[in-house]
Structure 1
Amino acid sequence: MVAVADRAPVLELPDTHGTPVRVGGVRTRPQLVVFLPFAFSRVCGGELRDLVAEPLVGADVVAVTCDPVFALRAWGEQEGVSVPLLSDFWPHGRAARAFGVLDDASGAPQRATFLLDDDGVVAWSVRSPAGVARSVADYRTAVAALTG
């Protein structure tokens, strides 16, 4: 897994309309990269709803799954999301593998989050066991610590 102080991989992934979105690299603001195992699942849906209900200030948020673009578009519309949903469908799991969080047995990313600073370096990360949601409050604390 990519660790704190490592430079994060720089990738482009399509959003729900097929538009490429860059993950990693030098940016004007920090970026929170949230890997979600499966669209339409109970825990992932709850995490996504929490991100929408409690928007983060000071960082750009992207959510990444290995689901195809069209499934993510339907899921995003169903959930009314305001954060970009990015598809890591093809080449399958390329981003999750680059971050070291692809579960080869399920073909889905592990439940992991990476906060990247302006230079694309991992400033903070968290991984939760399967079925255990991450806390938006923890994201807020990490972003606040980074942005001061």
Structure 2
Amino acid sequence: MKQITAGDYAPDFVLKDNRGQDVKLSDYRGKKVLLSWHPLAWTKVCAEQMKSLEANYAEMEKFNTVPLGLSVDAYPSKNAWAKELEITRTKLPADFWPHGQVAQTYGLFRDGEGFSERANVLIDEAGKVLWVKIYPIPELPDINEVLAEIRR
């Protein structure tokens, strides 16, 4: 699949979040959405990435932005992980089955490893992609860079 880029329209999806609730991208029209992809729950850098979303949730809300933390993990695992990390506001959608289908649609699935890239995709109020950044798997995304893109 072609990797999503700025200017593309973000493909819609429905995934279960860590609480087992449906998350439909198009339900957020009128708000910006940050899709923050992390390879796998229960790993150090992924935990720090999701905790940074939670810690900056109110700041993102000020700029009409909803952060979503996506990975290929099953939602019961993501729920236990969110409780462990004390993530209460940020939804963590599970791109579990069909395995990594949304990551594949966005061109962010790593076939060899069976998980997504570590990436941030910022979508505008109309569903158009504003910004995409892919990070080396061991690198923690700079939340200040992410917030700067949201504030633009």
Under a length normalisation based on structure 2, what TM-score does the superposition of the two structures give?
0.91
Matched, 1:142 2:149: yes
Are 1:127 and 2:134 an aligned pair? yes
Q: CA offsets, 1:52-80, max 9 Å, x none?
A: 12222320110101000110000000011
Q: Identical aligned pairs, as a percentage? A: 26
**Cα distance change of structure 1 residues 15 and 25 upon mapping to structure 2, 3 Å threshold:** closer
Runs of 4+ in 1 over 6 A off after TM superposition: none
- The change in CA–CA distance for 1:51 and 1:68 in structure 2 (over 3 A counts) is same
Aligned length: 145
Distance 1:54 1:118 in 2: 20
Relative distance call for 1:44 and 1:26 in structure 2 (3 A) is closer
SS at match of 2:90: coil
Q: What is aligned with 1:10?
A: 12
* Partner residue of 2:100 out of 75, 90, 93: 93
Match of 1:78 in 2: 84
Query: Structure 1: how far apart are the matches of 2:16 and 2:27?
Result: 16
* Structural RMSD (CA): 1.2
User: Which residue of structure 2 aligns with residue 67 of structure 1?
Assistant: 73
1:125 deviates by 1.2
For the residue of structure 2 that corresponds to 1:87, the secondary structure is coil
**Contact preservation (8 Å) 1:24, 1:31:** no
Judging changes above 3 Å, is the alpha-carbon distance between structure 1 residues 10 and 25 closer, same or farther for their aligned structure 2 residues? farther
Ranges in structure 2 where 5+ consecutive residues have no aligned partner: none
Which consecutive unaligned segments of at least 5 residues does structure 1 have? none
